Chain A
Amino acid sequence: MSQDLWNYLFIGTSFALYIGIAFKQRAGSTKEYYVAGGGVSPFANGMATAADWMSAATFISMAGTLASSGYDGSRFLMGWTGGFVLLTVLMVPFLRKFGKATVPDFIGDRYYSKAARLVAIVCAIFICLTYIMGQMRGVGIVFSQLFGIGIPAGVIIGATIVFFYAGLGGMKGITYTQVAQYCVMAFAYTIPAIFIAIALTGDVVPQLGLIGDFTKGGDPTPFLEKLNKINTDLGFSKYTDGSLSKIDMFCITAALMFGTAGLPHVIVRFFTVKNVKAVRRSACWTLSFIAVIYLTAPTIGAFARVNLIGELHDTSYKDAPAWFQDFEETGQMAWIDKNGDGKIQYFGPGKSESGKDGAVFAGKAPIFAEVLGASGERLLTNDPVSASPNELWFGKDIMVMANPHMAGLPKWVIALLMAGCIAAALSTAAGLLLVLSTSISHDLMKKVVKPDLTDKEEIKWARLASLGALLVAVWFGINPPGTFVAKTVAFAFGLAASSFFPALLLGIFSKRMNKEGAIAGMVTGILFTLGYIIYFTYLGGTKSQYLWGISPEGIGFIGMMVNFIVSIVVSRLTPAPPQEIRDLVDRVRHP
């Protein structure tokens, strides 16, 4: 059976499964939809929440980031799991008690003001859009791989599917569909890792392989030492050290954590569980299921790096494995034969003249000239960077997908992986799209702009909004603001951290916080962060201009601090909130 056939078989079967479950659940009654949770066990709810939680960025991009930057990639691992702890401990029990599922609703009521609600809606739209961009990029990568086409076409195909998938609508609410999606994702992620762990380290459990010995060919050497040596030999920094500065690492991790706690589309899930005890148990299960994948990601990253270098470095293009040409075809790998020896050389910044820049060519992404070079490679129109001997470029996002190819795993494993990627991207993208369209049609149009909106008009607005959001997301999916999915998504978290987190936290933990403080804080926080991100991604800011060496990914943390300071100062200078708001806060604090 050919690879394509396997792919279609697995993806087709998984889709049939989701749609089948969705259909079966819908068949009952519409009412069941809302309270489906009444009878959902914390275990099943945990699994479903985990599926909701894990996006294309987690699934596709994180392991690639780990593979290319080693220790630096830990920011995503700690950021997203640690953020879940914050969310569970600081937000979920209280917002659940309050009984409103959207952030603008909570902020509008807690801060007794339409203006606050409006600011929250605008922030929510910015955040969701940025988040969907990352997902669309992820979906695009999967489809480009599936059909052997470029990413732009992949993004458009993916967007069309998401549009109809989001239309099946109930999808998000139907817990059991997500249970199935989680299972597909978990198997798709761990099975390749197990195969590769056995091949490279002789351990069945990948996590033990990572801390064990490298046994493939020759004497066993500690795996990470072997990887460090590979890295330093080629001019990279040690795998276990990374190259980000400590302050940047700290800020990015913090922005991701606090952003997670300010992105509460997951909170909705906790409303479906019986009582607050079950909510806590459910949160434990959710994080455990998330941990299964997050503990595997670093092993995939490390194994993939060993395999990538082993298979490609110093290999002549003609003898390179077939998958290299496949990825070249879809524009996700590129090779420039700088020294004309017909061999692929992969080097880090340490080998370049300046010792800092290991770029293969000028510009962010390769632009292919439709001409083949002396060895049969696709030539680029980008100018080669002659100061660096590095000849191999690859998009970080493809690492997870290339991994089973590199390890020579059976075809069905690769097909399973594709199905997993699609499950991850679709579940999150469709969910976000619904959140976005309702926040425009309901929170914005109905609650703020035009309270006498009829049901029909509201639905019309929701449809327009989701179409509009999708178009914007497609454009940015093709021209992403970050160089890889996880980075784009990190911007969304930075925006959430700098706008919502302080407003929510102070709303629960400080009775003195009033509308003036919250509004001023949210506005300065998000403007500061957004401005910084736009300046450095679109307006040509350079690294040397970074504030205290903090990259745009991490600036959300500083934005959050600005928000806290502004909120507190402004609230102390303006009148305290009315008594009924203080009572409301009191009520929210008790289960």
Chain B
Amino acid sequence: MGNLRNGIRNTRIWLVVNEKGYGSGFLSSCAIRGLLDHKDTISPMSNIQGNGDAQDRYWKANLRWLIVILGTWFFVSFGCGILFREWLDENLFRVGTAPFGFWMAQQGSIISFVLLLIAYAKIMNGLDEKFKVDEEDSK
């Protein structure tokens, strides 16, 4: 029972810490500080904060890429795996001995998702650099 009490207390304290931000010293040394309380920390956007235009362009570029990524996401899963599966099974090449649509539904879509996240990480990190909104720059 003592253990249980500890577990719950830990979670609770953790939530409290989250609310008060970087109240304790140990947290201030850690990089997540900036995330915990957006009101009092210098915003990582500070270098372009005064420039609403740059901020706007950053968000627009962000949205454009999101649409591309989610479009691909929809196409490989719902498109190939569900909507056009029968057609693909019959008309497209086989993967090994498996029909293409079926293979997309059970293997291909998952592989695509992994590749998609890798691309996402690369693109977004590039975007952050271009617009100089790197979190660590502000520290």
Contacts and interface: CB of A to CB of B under 8 A. Distances in A.
B103 to A, nearest CB: 7
The B interface, classified by DSSP as helix, strand, loop or mixed, is helix
A275 B34 CA distance: 10
A46 to B, nearest CB: 11
A359 B6 CA distance: 50
A271 B81 CA distance: 33
A274 B10 CA distance: 21
Interface in B89-125: 89, 95-99, 102-103, 105-107, 109-111, 113-114, 116-118, 120-121, 124-125
Contact of B95 (A98, A211, A223, A253): A211
A173 B89 CA distance: 45
B77 A462 contact: no
A24 interface: no
Contacts, number: 234
Nearest to B124: A280
Interface centre among B4, B10, B103 (most CB of A within 10 A): B4
A434 B11 contact: yes
B112 to A, nearest CB: 9
A459 B8 contact: yes
Contact of A590 (B21, B55, B113): B55
A364 interface: no
A240 B105 CA distance: 10
Given A458-B12, A463-B4, A291 B113 contact: yes
B36 A591 contact: no
Contacts of A84: 113
Contact of A591 (B82, B102, B106, B128): B128
15 contacts: A99-B38, A101-B15, A102-B15, A169-B6, A169-B7, A169-B10, A211-B98, A241-B86, A249-B82, A254-B78, A281-B121, A284-B118, A438-B8, A438-B12, A466-B8
Given A85-B113, A210-B106, 15 more contacts: A71-B105, A77-B105, A77-B106, A81-B113, A167-B1, A167-B7, A168-B3, A211-B103, A223-B97, A225-B97, A253-B81, A274-B31, A284-B114, A284-B118, A587-B43
Interface of A: 30-31, 33-35, 37-38, 66, 71, 73-74, 77-78, 81-82, 84-86, 88-90, 93, 96-102, 163-164, 166-173, 207-208, 210-213, 222-225, 240-241, 246, 249-250, 253-254, 257, 271-272, 274-277, 280-281, 283-284, 287-288, 291, 294-295, 298, 434, 437-438, 441-442, 455, 458-459, 462-463, 466, 584, 586-591
5 closest residue pairs by CB, A with B: A169-B7, A211-B96, A167-B4, A222-B97, A280-B121
